Structure 1
Amino acid sequence: MPRKLALKRLTASDLTLFKWHFQNHPAGKQKAFNLDADVLVGKLYPQLGEPSLVPQPRYPLDLYLCGPGLAPVNNLQRKILKQQKNWRLNGELIDNPVEIPELYDVLTPGDFALFEFSGDVMPTTANVVLVSAAVPVDAGIHAELARRFPSGSMWALDDGLVQEVLSAAAPPEGHSLYDWAETSLLEDAALGGAAGAEAINARRGSRGISPEDFMRSRRIAEATGVAGEEFLNAYFEQECQRDNLEEFEWTASINAVSVFDFRVIALGGEVRLVDAKSTTGAFTNPIHLSFGELHKAVYGPEPYDIYRLYRVAADRAEMRIARNIGPALRQTLAVFSTLPLEVKVDGISVHPDLLNFSAEEIILESSPDEGSR
């Protein structure tokens, strides 16, 4: 599902969350980042806008501060709270880490903090990348953000914009913002893809992926899979209403270990099996097939189709279809039969080009009134 990303331009009162700024550049008694309610509640966490059972609700937050520059992550425990109509990231003053005693001193009003929040109903984790104009490796990113956001205080972002900023600024390898652009690699690694894991290790070196980040990526991949099936279920319902299908069954909703997701009966009575393969990224991301899916696709007897859902978001997805993929994978399955009996293959990663997808891109939207084409 879509990541919860935001950008904040830091003010003098925001910087007093850091101990050095609070002591040397006081801008009132505030010890918090102000968080724009239109972004935090209006776009990222609408349920925070519901009436609270307690005054001034507080939500514990696992905070990971990266930067400025190439500084390593600083993990802290803070909270998000509501005071009157204002939302703040609050807690104890943040001191410079012992190993970098002047790290946060370089921050000035007008610098940026990029947030990635985790948590379905309320924020439970925030990964924050601090970007300072005074730090050379941040300068290009800062200039690009300032160009794109010349005014205002806080904005919701999408993955595409982060990638565009990185491409334009080209910071050196090792900059923590690159981690934000690795969603496709993280998704591949979380689903068991060797290529994704190798690429991340090559880029991140000794930093690797924390267990928390890996599990979060796995949960996101699983949630994306469920969302893709929901989109496809709605699509098949519309196809039946338009008399393009006789009927269908959402098999995976009643059998979690089924080797296909849907059984579809086409006009004329032909039965076809359908597997939804979903990603928040591009169409070209690897497709993961279990050995059971591979075996069923090759040996049938029903034709086995892959419906590739990509750029899956909360209210929209794009889709292309590869029909009867068995013949394209028959040779792959034959290779596995030559392995020693003691060796079992659990699954494979396949580039979409192997499966002869149709060129047609089908747009799926969550509102049934909008339909699909």
Structure 2
Amino acid sequence: MEKLAVKKLTHSDLTFFQCYYYAQKEKKSKQKALNLNSDVLVDELYPELKTVTANTRIPVSLYIYGPGIEEVHILQRKILKSQGSKNWRLNGELIYSPEDNPDRYKTLKPGDIVVLGFDGKLKPSSIFVDFLAASIDADHSLWEKLNDYLSGKTMRSIESSRLHELSESADLPPEHSIYRFFLDDDMVSVAEGDTEAILHVYKRSGTVMTADELVTAKEKAAHIGSCGEELVSQYFERMLDNGEIADFTWTSRENAVAPYDFEVKELDGSTYRLDVKSTTGKFETKIHISGAELLTMADDTIGYKLFRVYEISEECAKLKIAPQMSDYAKNILKVLSTLPKGISVDSVSCDPRLLDFMEAEDLMAKGDE
């Protein structure tokens, strides 16, 4: 998730929970809502909300994790800014503990911390919250680190990389729900149909992938692929300027269903095709090869290379090239041909470390593209 915040819970925040609201000796607060600081929610995460009029209710799906090791609790709520109020509120009806865990939220106290992940481009459509209780062993170490991060503030936005760093250093149980916020690479792989990633996300304790997240993951996968191809296009432009190749065509830009991305004409008149496999992750992140790509790779009449673009950032990436993919594709197709009649495989996933790649090169982006 790209829109993340950390918040320290106050007495009035905890009145969102039925157990806390009715446990008050005196009804010091009647708000039944979780405050969302405007300087974070609006000024930093959703500036488009500045145009929303007071008392406009924005419905959201609410996914609650924690405190401690708990499965997800899914509800429907709304956020709104009341007339004359500075901050926004996540509210609706009181939150009751699940029937099978009636004491779930009783451990929460003022000073505990909640991590909030917002999904939605122009306004929140889903909110993922992970409550961390200082009194629970599974939460305490991360609670300490996020308490330091807040530095006395009630709410701060946080970069995903920073939250990941703090979580890793907290030595949490592997099933802790905070890892729900760091399934980014897996989410992209799920969007690409990777079976192992799908099972990993599904089996992760408390993990639910919403329809919005799946759409976002598909968009991100497409964007990463486009970034990788753009970097390779610039790579060939430099080779063309240096007289290292005769010409090249960015085929997939002209025909999105082509089973390769580029066709390159060498100085000796020969040509080869290539597919770009891109990731923001490490080199060993799995590669997905479609059935059409396998058939094209196996064609001996024209060469086929694989360009692995990895560790993509805003300014650069790394590149490794597998110069000959025909034999690899033939071996896979031979195995697939043994499947029962009427059964076909649309794509395969493979570990790039099993392929014969050349030494890594650096790719540097130029211009705003």
Would the TM-score normalized by the shorter structure come out above 0.5? yes
- Quote how far apart the aligned CAs of 1:61 are: 0.4
Give the structure 1 partner of residue 321 of structure 2. Answer: 322
Tell me what 2:351 maps to. 351
* Contact 1:41/1:48, CA 8 A, preserved across alignment: yes
* Aligned residue in 2 for 1:278: 278
SS of the aligned residue for 1:273 comes to strand
SS in 1 for 2:81: strand
Contact 1:310–1:317 at 8 Å: present in 2 too?
no
Aligned to 2:3: 4
Rate the CA distance shift 1:79–1:253 in 2: closer, same or farther, 3 A: farther
> Cα distance, 1:123 vs. partner?
1.2
Maintained 8 Å contact 2:57/2:79: yes
Partner of residue 219, structure 2: 223
The 1:289–1:217 alpha-carbon spacing in structure 2 relative to 1, beyond 3 Å, is farther
Q: How many angstroms does 1:234 deviate by?
A: 4.3
Matched residue, 1:252: 252
Contact 2:233 2:250 in 1 (8 A): no
> Which runs of 5 or more residues in structure 1 are unaligned?
none
Q: Which residue of 2 aligns with 1:123?
A: 124
Residue by residue over 1:62-95, the C-alpha shift from the partner in whole angstroms, topping out at 9 and shown as x without a partner, is: 1011111123322221112234553322222223
Aligned to 2:231: 235
**Contact 2:77–2:92 (Cα < 8 Å) also in 1:** yes
Task: Tell me how far apart the structure 1 counterparts of residues 141 and 341 of structure 2 sit (CA, whole Å).
Answer: 56
Q: Is the 8 A contact 1:299 1:326 kept in 2?
A: no
CA contact 1:320–1:357 (8 Å) conserved in 2: no
Residues 176-230 of structure 1: per-residue CA shift (max 9 Å, x gap):
22333333334434433233244446654xx6x54xx164554233212321243
DSSP-derived class of the 2:75 partner: strand
Aligned equivalents of 1:216, 1:266: Cα separation in 2:
44
Relative to the length of structure 1, the TM-score reads 0.80
- Partner Cα distance (1:172, 1:255) in 2: 47
Count how many residue pairs are aligned between Structure 1 and Structure 2. 359
Query: What one-letter code is carried by the residue in structure 2 that aligns with 1:220?
Result: T
> Does structure 2 retain, via aligned residues, the 8 Å contact 1:162–1:181?
no
Q: Offset of 1:42 from its aligned partner?
A: 4.1
Q: 2:110 is paired with a residue of what secondary structure?
A: coil
Tell me, yes or no, if structure 1 residue 179 matches structure 2 residue 180.
Answer: yes
**1:279/1:216 CA distance change after superposition, 3 Å:** farther
SS at match of 2:275: strand
- Larger deviation: 150-159 or 259-268? 259-268
| Structure 1 residues 121 and 307, CA gap change in structure 2 (3 angstroms) | farther
Cα offset, 1:131, TM superposition? 0.6
Contact 2:228 2:277 in 1 (8 A): no
Shift in alpha-carbon separation, 1:295–1:47, aligned structure 2, 3 A: farther
Q: 1:143 maps to which residue?
A: 144
Larger radius of gyration: 2
Instruction: Write the deviation string for residues 217-262 of structure 1: whole angstroms up to 9, x where unpaired.
Output: 5423321232124324543665576535776554434434221234
Q: Structure 2 CA distance, aligned partners of 1:99 and 1:22?
A: 20
Q: Give me the whole-angstrom Cα distance separating, in 2, the residues matched to 1:55 and 1:76.
A: 24
Specify every segment of 5 or more residues in structure 2 that has no aligned partner in the other structure, as ranges. Answer: none
The CA distance in 2 between the partners of 1:87 and 1:195, in whole Å, is 40
Q: Deviations over 1:158-179 (max 9, x none)?
A: 4434443343333334432233
SS of the counterpart of 1:103?
Answer: coil
Give the Cα separation in 1 of the matches to 2:62 and 2:332.
45
SS across alignment from 2:255: coil
Please tell me whether the aligned partners of residues 250 and 261 of structure 1 are also in contact (alpha carbons under 8 angstroms). Answer: yes
1:343 and 1:180, CA in 2 relative to 1: closer, same or farther beyond 3 A?
Answer: same
Deviations along 1:255-308, one digit per CA (max 9) or x if unpaired, are 342212344556776654343333354332111111111222232644434444
For residues 257 and 226 of structure 1, the distance between their equivalents in structure 2, rounded to whole angstroms, comes to 13
Cα contact 1:191–1:218 (8 A) shared by 2: no
- Superposition pairs of residues 147-162 of structure 1, within 5 angstroms: 147-162=148-163
Contact kept, 8 Å, 1:236 with 1:248, in 2: the verdict is: no
1:360 is matched with: 361
Aligned CA-pair RMSD: 3.4
Secondary structure of the corresponding residue to residue 106 of structure 2? helix
Give, as a single letter, the amino acid of the residue that structure 2 aligns with 1:17. Answer: F
Report the Cα offset of residue 334 of structure 1: 3.5
1:20-67, CA deviations, whole angstroms, 9 ceiling, x for partnerless residues?
333445554433322234433344334334x34x44433110101111
Match of 2:56 in 1: 57
